Amino acid sequence: MIGRASAWFGAPAPAQRLAALRIVLGAAAWIYAAARLVDLVNVARLPTWQFEPVGPVALLAAPLPGSLVVALVVLTLVAGIGFVIGWRWRISGPVFAVLLLWVISYRNSWGMTFHTENLMVLHVGVLAASRAADAWSIDARRASDDVPHARYGAPIRVLVVVTLVTYFIAGYSKIANAGLAWITSDTLCNYVAYDNLRKAELGDMHSSLGAAMVRHPGLFPPLAAFSLLVELGAPFVVLHRRLAQLWCAAAWGFHIGVFAMMWIVFHYPMLGLAYAPFFAIERPLARVFARLRSLRPPWCGRGAAC
Amino acid sequence: MDAETRRWAVGGAALVLLLLWPLVHGRDGFPLSTYPMFSSPRDTHAKIAHVVGRSADGSAAPLRPALLGTAEIMQASQIARNAAKNGQRAADLCARVAARVGASDDDANIVSIEVRTDEFDAIAYWNGVRKPTKSNVHARCSVGGSP
């Protein structure tokens, strides 16, 4: 078992796979931060009594000045560009990871922790510590490593393990807090009813499907069993590539179900980003790059230099 | 396994232990979390703290999160919940929301604001019983000096 785990962990991977994860997951995190720019900045205007620091922000005794909050968000976006394009990686990688952790934690320090963001921040942190800019980057534009190597595979396995462990923790918490009654009781039905009610009474959109399903409580125990199977079963798929990919499909389906029933968007798994480390995502990305290279400007072929 | 891969194995194992640590001390945080959402037993009772706008005809409707100073519905919920715990905070929130409503052309029909907690039976709610079983108004204020 140990030998098999060691072989799995030390299996070589091409530098392009790790680079593809840097580009895709880094760009997703950057877009997320940019799309949440107003939210990330607006917390500076909230009254001090709402400040409940989480994560690294717990180091602070009081909120930061508003101008510093804005400056850190802007710096995050600037560092994020360096992260995605792989420019001065040894600086831009860790700086983006640390700043992203900080600004997201700071936004979560005002009474509401968004559990949809944990995995994104963790993945960016792991990538920042890796050689994710050894290919397909500004730093590697002159020389890129084309030989698959364990030093590119190992960080990818860590990304996979981090994904699986976060699901396991979610499942474990359900069993620890409610026991197997979480499956057999009306707990899930009541959650769906409560969450949609809360949205309706807070002036937000709610799921009509979830509201309708609540009238048929018998539908929920199988769904509860499926979600616990996905969560608690996560660590057991780690050594089987096909099983792991099947698990990804099941976990993705689980999030689609959550969205359909409760209108909760877990953007990171729903877009497949949480599961990207399980796949050879450099292949489709290489095809995209090849396609982009083949697109010649309109003036080419008319005697102009291209 | 070369030295760098071994370092990743050790670092990865340490990261897993770190991720599991919140399960030991039982406190949720970020990015290390117990992922507590939907994990506790829940009955049908729903207690919702929210901010409601009342029109001149007496009808009431929950206000959108932007009027509470956030784009996020869950953050708006938390803001209202925190305010409901303290009369002065509820009054402050009421005044801030009233100022935003007063400055918004889209909300010209709203004449007063209430920071309130309403209780419902969640299952009955989706079977048509929308009236709260219990209500508690923490703060009430008018918009732009309207009565």
**Best CA proximity match to A121, nearest among B29, B78, B82, B63:** B29
Residues of chain A contacting residue B23, judged by C-beta atoms under 8 Å apart: 169, 172-173, 176
- Residues A223-246: tens digit of each pLDDT: 999 999 999 999 999 878 899 999
User: How many other CB atoms are found less than 10 A from the CB of residue A164?
Assistant: 22
Report cis status (omega within 30 of 0) of the bond before A148.
no
B89 inside 8 A of chain A by CB: yes
Sign of the alpha-carbon dihedral angle for A4, A10, A14, A19: positive
The yes-or-no verdict on residue A104 having pLDDT over 60 is yes
Closest Cα in chain B to A7: B1
For residue B42, which residues of chain A lie inside 8 Å, CB to CB? 187, 190-191, 194
- Rounded Cα–Cα distance for residues A231 and A228 (Å): 5
Task: Find, among A181, A207, A174, the residue nearest to A193 by Cα.
Answer: A207
pLDDT, mean of residues B118-139: 95
Residues in chain A closer than 8 A to B122 (CB atoms): 190, 193-194, 197, 214
Is the pLDDT confidence value at A17 over 90? yes
B61 and A203: CB-CB below 8 Å? yes
Q: Is B123 on the interface with A (CB under 8 A)?
A: yes
Joined together, the tokens standing for residue B79 give 């803001």
pLDDT at res. A164:
97
In whole angstroms, give the CA distance from residue A129 to residue A237: 25
pLDDT (mean) for A270-295: 93
| ipTM for this prediction | 0.91
- Domain limits of chain B? 3-39, 45-142
Taking each helix axis from N to C terminus, what angle separates A282-294 and A15-35, rounded to the nearest 10 degrees? 80
Mean pLDDT of A196-209: 91
| Chain A residue closest in CA terms to B36 | A173
Closest CA to A63 of A98, A110, A118, A96: A110
Decide if B11 and A129 are in contact by the 8 Å CB cutoff.
yes
Look at residues A32, A154, A38, A151 and name the one whose alpha carbon lies nearest to residue A84.
A32
Examine the pLDDT at B139 and tell me if it is beyond 70: yes
- Residue A83 phi/psi, 5-degree rounding, is -60, -50
Does the distance separating the beta carbons of B34 and A173 come in below 8 Å? yes
Position A306 scores a pLDDT of 57
How far B55 CA sits from the closest chain A CA (Å)?
15
Residues of B in contact with A203 (CB under 8 A): 50, 61-65, 73
Question: Which of A24-38, A127-141, B17-31, B58-72 shows the lowest mean pLDDT across its residues?
Answer: B58-72
Q: Give residue B147's pLDDT.
A: 42
Contacts of B62 in chain A (CB under 8 A): 201-203
In one-letter notation, the amino acid at residue B33 is: S
Cβ atoms of B139 and B87 within 8 Å: the answer is: yes
Instruction: Name chain A contacts of B2, Cβ cutoff 8 Å.
Output: 150-151
Instruction: Provide the terminal-to-terminal Cα distance of chain B, rounded to the nearest Å.
Output: 76
Output the furthest CA–CA distance in chain B (Å, rounded): 76
Task: Give phi and psi for A304, each to the nearest 5.
Answer: -85, 150
Q: Label residue B104 exposed, middle or buried (CB < 10 Å: 0-12, 13-18, 19+).
A: middle
Question: What pLDDT was estimated at residue A79?
Answer: 98
Q: How far is CA B37 from CA A2, A54, A279, B27, in A?
A: 34, 16, 28, 13
Contacts of A195 (CB under 8 A, 6+ apart): A206, A210, A262, A264
Q: How far apart are CA A179 and CA A190, in angstroms?
A: 16
Cβ under 8 Å to A: B residues 9-68: 9, 11-12, 15-16, 19-20, 22-23, 28-44, 46, 48, 50, 61-65
Question: What is the distance between the alpha carbons of residues B30 and A109, in angstroms, rounded to a whole number?
Answer: 9
Q: Which of B6, B8, B135 to substitute to test the interface with A, most A CBs within 10 Å?
A: B8
Q: Is the pLDDT of residue A300 over 80?
A: no
Interface contact B41-A158, CB threshold 8 A: no
Distance (Å) of CA B6 to CA A22, B20, B118? 22, 21, 56
| Beta-strand relationship, B134-142 and B110-121 | antiparallel
pLDDT tens readout for residues A165-191: 999 999 999 999 999 999 999 999 999
pTM for the structure as a whole: 0.88
H runs (alpha helix) in B33-72: none
Q: Per-residue pLDDT for A204 more than 90? A: no
